[in-house]
Amino acid sequence: MPKRLVPHNVLLLLVAAAIGLLIASSVGVGLGELLVKLGDATGGRVLKYIALACGVLLVIDLVCLVLAQALNSLGDADEPPDAQ
């Protein structure tokens, strides 16, 4: 079996970060809207900016995940599937 270019732990970390950032950005937007409706416009704006930062990190994480998967697929392409 050929050695993977990206370790399994890195892929697992990227997937876990994607799930966590997705949840954090969704909760941040929801809580920000709740604070705006309750009359705390400043707190709502701050939470929306935090949610925006989580969304940007989520996009970066997903791009890194796609690139890591592409590197792993390139590493496996050298051998035919029956050569085990």
Residue 50, pLDDT above cutoff 80? yes
The model's pTM is 0.82
Res. 75 pLDDT band, cuts 50 70 90: confident
Residues 6+ apart with CB under 8 A from 75: 2, 3, 4, 5
pLDDT of amino acid 84? 57
Residue 23, pLDDT above cutoff 80? yes
Which of 17, 28, 6 shows the shortest CA–CA distance to 60? 17
Average the pLDDT over 5-11 and give the result. Answer: 90
The domain spans of the chain are 8-73
Res. 77 pLDDT band, cuts 50 70 90: low
Residue 42, pLDDT above cutoff 90? yes
Residues 6+ apart with CB under 8 A from 44: 32, 33, 34, 35, 36
